[in-house]
Amino acid sequence: HIHVPTVLNEKQTIVYPGAPQGHTKKEQTSTSILLVELSKGSCQIHPIKVAEVYWKTKEISLRQAKTTKEVIVHIRQQLSKVEDGFSLIEIKLKDYDHLNTDVLERIQSGELLDYLLEEFSDRIRDLFIWRISLMEDTFYAKIPLAASAKLMEQLFQYYQTPQDFQQILNEVYSHQEAAKILSELPEYQEEPLEKAKQL
């Protein structure tokens, strides 16, 4: 159950205000109360921020950074723009493919997070970085498999019989709603197999 503000009708006369304080990272928009002004034929809604803590996600591109020091400088610059009150920040790093493995290991091991926490605790009292992660690229390189066409055909043959395919999806079929959706998709078996063959 997420307490996010929601407009419940097209005329904006019924609005669920959410909660004035987000309890989890999913409630980043739960930061305010709503002042509603009704007049003849109109409804004005004004959010007033009252949260003590703000959950935020910050995407930061590392395209211009090459070293760990440059990564730190870049993050520091981006976090100087954070507004509102005390903020719990999740940093998602992107455009990092060009960085060497030492820099990436410092990010993934938590070493960079520890350093930034120490630095910001001395300088900035109104933010706390609770996670740093590398955003996954949506494009994947194809990995060539040194397998004969005959072997590939044998591997795919197992998944082409409806009984075997259904056995693989047994857990999904045990969920009532998922089973209903899959039964309405007669091409579902063929579609994943065709996509897998194209990989």
- DSSP secondary structure letters along 95-138: S-TTS-HHHHHHHHHTHHHHHHHHHHHHH-SSEEEEEEEEPPPS
Query: What's the distance, CA 8 to chain centroid?
Result: 25
- pLDDT tens digits, one per residue of 120-167: 776 667 788 888 999 875 334 444 556 677 777 776 776 677 777 667
d(Cα 143, Cα 125) in Å, to the nearest integer?
47
Please answer whether residues 52 and 63 qualify as being in contact, where contact means their C-beta atoms are separated by less than 8 angstroms.
no
Q: Please enumerate in sequence order all residues whose Cβ is within 8 A of that of 6, keeping only pairs 6 or more positions apart, or say none.
A: 15, 16, 18
State the average pLDDT over residues 14-40: 71
CA distance readout (Å), 49 to 38, 52, 73, 116, 117: 20, 9, 30, 27, 26
Domain extents for the chain?
6-49, 53-134, 149-193
Specify the pLDDT at position 85: 73
Residue 30 has pLDDT above 80, yes or no: no
Q: Please enumerate in sequence order all residues whose Cβ is within 8 A of that of 66, keeping only pairs 6 or more positions apart, or say none.
A: 98, 99
> Higher confidence at residue 69 or residue 82?
69
DSSP string, 15-26: EE---SS--SGG
- Note the pTM of the prediction, 2 decimals: 0.55
Specify the pLDDT at position 139: 39
State the average pLDDT over residues 184-190: 60
Q: Which of 28-32, 80-84, 140-144, 150-154 has the lowest mean pLDDT?
A: 140-144
When pLDDT is cut at 50, 70 and 90, the band that residue 64 belongs to is: very high
Under CATH, what is the fold of the domain 53-134?
A: Barnase; Chain D (3.30.370)
Please answer whether residues 179 and 172 qualify as being in contact, where contact means their C-beta atoms are separated by less than 8 angstroms.
yes
State the average pLDDT over residues 108-117: 90
State the average pLDDT over residues 174-191: 64
Q: Which of 34-38, 85-89, 158-162 has the lowest mean pLDDT?
A: 158-162
Residue 101 has pLDDT above 70, yes or no: yes
- pLDDT above 90 covers what percent of the chain? 19
Backbone angles phi, psi at 178, to 5 degrees: -65, -40
When pLDDT is cut at 50, 70 and 90, the band that residue 35 belongs to is: confident
State the average pLDDT over residues 5-30: 68
